[in-house]
Each structure stands twice: as structure tokens, then as C-alpha cells.
Amino acid sequence: MKKELFDYNDSDIDSIIDYSQLLLNRKFSQIIDDYQQTPYKTYEDYQTKTASKISESKISTKSKGKYGNYIEQYFYGYKPNNNSTADFDKVGVDVKVTPFKINKNGSISAKERLVLTILDYMNENLDDFYNTHLWKKCSKMLLLFYNGLLHDDVKNNTIEKIFLYEWFSEDMPVILEDYKNITNKIKQGKAHELSESDGNYLSVCTKGQSAKTSRQQPFSKVPAKQRAWSLKPIYMTYLLRNKIFEQHEQESIAATVKNTKQSFTTIITNRIMQYKGMTATSLYEKFNINPKAKGKNSTLIRKIIGLTGDIEKTQEFQKANMNLRVIRIKRNGMPKEDSPFKEYNFKELATNDNWEESQPYLEICSKRFLFVIFKETESDVYILDKVKFWGFPDRLIPEMQRVWQETRDIINTGVKLTQKNNSVITNFPTSKTNKFVFTKIHAKNTYYELFPASFVGSGKLSDTDELPDGRRITKHSFWFPKKFVKEILEGKWD
């Protein structure tokens, strides 16, 4: 090393960052070797040139925070702790060691959320974000990124990127809105109902050795799960892809409004609701959209907001992992259709047993949704009525996981195909028995291989996907039932 271990000034942020560069592309084992060879075991002892008399503290390799603990002790020279202040409190900088991953297609993603600090329901400031414990501890963070899929042994890993994170001004309207939504639940005595889906960028995740770890909350006697403030995985993915590694900027919703500090959800709501009461037909005409086009509704919303590209590729939608849904409500109050998700691959669904990397978890449970609702006023005439932002609540995830597992079991044991005239019935979970999510075909025309090379249906081979047993059947996807969508829009699952 060009510098000696612990040779930095903890009162100078530039000195800390400059020293931290020495971590880059060096195995943790090399840093530990340097530590073992120096007579100084703490930052303070190095500053006073006093040989340390303390013995080395062993760090558990099973600890979830082992990467951070290694760097804190062996590189920065302070004992791993749970202090309420920032790690470098003289300059207000907290150190976070966090993993990224390289996907099969070569893209980079965050491997997990960035956990910030415990949410103390009883003592946190619930009215002023800038006076919270969260802000006091994490207003500046030195992020150290390592490849979380490269090595299982912590000593063989390296820090590949260093980034001083100071909360981006363009994100603060959304962050403040997330904080307000979360703290409002606490004020309502609903801390036990908090969910990671309550925020767009800023969230609260369960924290503790057991998901059942609970804390007292101030406005209810019901124990609430222990949670920590966190930045959501998809927000961290955006940060990695666009601020740290690739540095490509996407179109921004906020940029369509000049001189504003509004959150993107407010901008979207205001833009869309200025056309409340207009029929879908008149809106298609106003914005020059072919009413028979396949993606007419997403194109309509994009043009209303003032975007040139796909709304789901904007900075804000990527950071929030948001999905647009245009829903038509019939006069009886029921949505006209069930709501589909992307089709899944039978073999991949059957073989991937990691729930948090599964298609339904990524497409449903980790998403935020923007519902744009058109209401029927007379036969087949729909007017723009309202918008709703919603996230899949944590309390429904076990049921979602159950349906996912049931679907996997059916695929692995063999899908049953029962022919009735020119149609085929499967044994996949249906909306009759599954209240929140079910699986059905994702194609207009069906095509089922009952026996080798013997097909039934009006579809074609491109409408099908191959099962593990070699048969090809119509492509399927997970769906929200109409009744569940109705309950979402009515606020039952907020």
C-alpha cells in the first residue's frame, strides 16, 4: 500500500475518500494481512503512534454484516458498533458495504436493499424528515460495492466501486412523500401494518434475527415488527446502472415540469386528472392514437404526461419499480377484465426455487403500481375517473408464494390436460379458489399438445411454451382476479 494502514484524517471527508480508494481491487485477505502486520490495531493508536495492546476481535463469518465489520475493523480501525451516530461522525459520513450482481444478460443490479438504520417507533421524529435519526446518521453515506455473486468466502472478495452518496435533490420530493406515507401509518397506530411497498424509493424492511422480532409502537398496543429504514433494491439498481457504472440517464417525469419540487406521483396525478370526465374515445382522438393499437392505453398515458418514450423506462418508474395498469370499471363496479402479468417460462418457473428471484416475486410482490381508472357511464362508454398508486402489501406475500409453489408443483409433477370439445382445461390454480392471484393462459388463441405432435385449439406453435415433460401448451401468466382488483381500487389493501 502507498499509505500505511489507518493513515487518514477522520475530520476531513476528502482524506477519508482518498484513503478508501486503497480498497479497490484488493482482496479482503490482503487487507487483513496488512492489519496483522501493523503494531496499530485502531485508528486512535495509529494517530498517537502507540502500539495497540488490545487483542484482535474475531468477526463471525456467519454474520450478515460481516463485510462491513471486516472493513470497519481491519481497514478503518474502529470496532464494529451499533452507534446511533454516523461512523465518521466528525464529517457526518456513514459507511455502508453492499453487494451488486451481474445478471445473465450482462446488466448490473443491486443484490439487496440498502439497510440504513433501525426505525425506533417510539423515538423517531414522525413530522420532520430532516430531524430524524435516519437523516442525522445517513445524510451522507460512503457506499462500498462488492460483487455479491463472485465468492462465498468473504476474504476473497474485493471492493469494486466507491461512491459518496448524498441524497439527490431530484429524488427528495419522492423521498419526503415516502417518509410521510410511512410515518402517517405509525401515527394512525398501524406500525404493525407497515410494508416495504409503502414507499417508492425509501422503505422499511423487517430487521432482526427473526421476522417475529417486535417493538412497541406509540399509538397502539399492538406489537409491530422491528423494521429498519432502507433504500429499495430497485432504487439501488438504478443508482448502480446510471450513477456509478454505466452512467446513462433516462427520460424524467419531473423534467416535464419546470421549477417544481413536486413528487413524480403528484405530477402524474395532476397531469392525468386534468382530463377527468373525458371519454377514452375522445382522448384517443385528442392525442392522435389509433384506438385499435395494442398499446394504446400506455401510449395515451405517456402522451398525457408529456413523455416521448415508454413511461416505465423513465427515471422515476425505474427507481420505484413501478408498473402502469389501465383499468376499465363496469357500471356494476367490477373491473371489466382480470389483470395479467408477463407470461412465464414453464421450465424456468419449475426449476428456480429461489422465491425472491422468481418471476411472480419480481413482477408482483416487489412492484409499485399506477392504476389509471376509466369508469363506464353507459354501454361500452368509459370516462377517465381517477388514479391510484399502490404497492403489494407484505401481508399478502405468503399467499402469493403459496400459489407460486402450487403452480411449480403442478408443472413438475405433470400438467393435467382435459379435453372438452375443442377446448382444454388444465389443473392450474384458478380464480375460483385463489382470491389474490391465479394462473391462466396468456394468449388469444389456445393450442395444447395432448399427445406427441397432436394439438387441439385454434392457435399456433408460437402461442405455446414447452413443459418439462416435452409437451407444448398455451403460454400462461399470473393474473389478479377482477374481484381483487376491485378491492385494491376501493382501498381495502392499502
pLDDT tens digits for range 356-414:
889 999 999 999 999 999 999 999 999 999 999 999 999 999 999 999 999 999 999 99
- DSSP-derived secondary structure for 68-136: HHHHIIIII-------SS-TBTTTTBEEEEEEEEE-TTS-EEESS-EEEEE--TTTS-SS-GGGSHHHH
Report the pLDDT averaged over residues 63-92.
Answer: 85
Assess contact for 164 and 211: CB atoms under 8 A: no
Assess contact for 27 and 160: CB atoms under 8 A: no
CATH topology of domain 13-244: ECO RV Endonuclease; Chain A (3.40.600)
How many angstroms separate the CA atoms of 75 and 81, rounded? 15
Determine the 3-state secondary structure of 435 from DSSP. Answer: coil
Beta-bridge mates of residue 386: 373
pLDDT of residue 64: 66
Grid cell in block for residue 92: 457526518
Q: 144 pLDDT exceeds 70? A: yes
Report the pLDDT averaged over residues 295-305.
Answer: 95
Assess contact for 394 and 373: CB atoms under 8 A: no
Beta-bridge mates of residue 286: none
Grid cell in block for residue 187: 401515527
Q: 340 pLDDT exceeds 90? A: yes
What residue ranges of the chain are covered by domains with CATH 3.40.600.10?
A: 13-244, 254-390
Beta-bridge mates of residue 392: none
Q: pLDDT tens digits, residue range 149-158? A: 877 777 888 9
How many angstroms separate the CA atoms of 204 and 194, rounded? 8
In 119-239, DSSP assigns E strands to 140-147, 159-166, 202-206, 214-217, 220-225, 227-231
Assess contact for 68 and 80: CB atoms under 8 A: yes
Q: Which residue has the higher pLDDT, 248 or 241?
A: 241
Tell me the pTM: 0.87
Assess contact for 58 and 104: CB atoms under 8 A: no
Report the pLDDT averaged over residues 68-94.
Answer: 88
Phi, then psi, of 143 in degrees rounded to 5? -90, 125
Could you tell me which of 266, 267, 299, 262 has the C-alpha nearest to residue 283? Answer: 299
Q: 85 pLDDT exceeds 60? A: yes
Pick the CATH number of 254-390 from 3.40.50.2020, 3.40.600.10, 3.40.1410.10, 3.40.50.620: 3.40.600.10
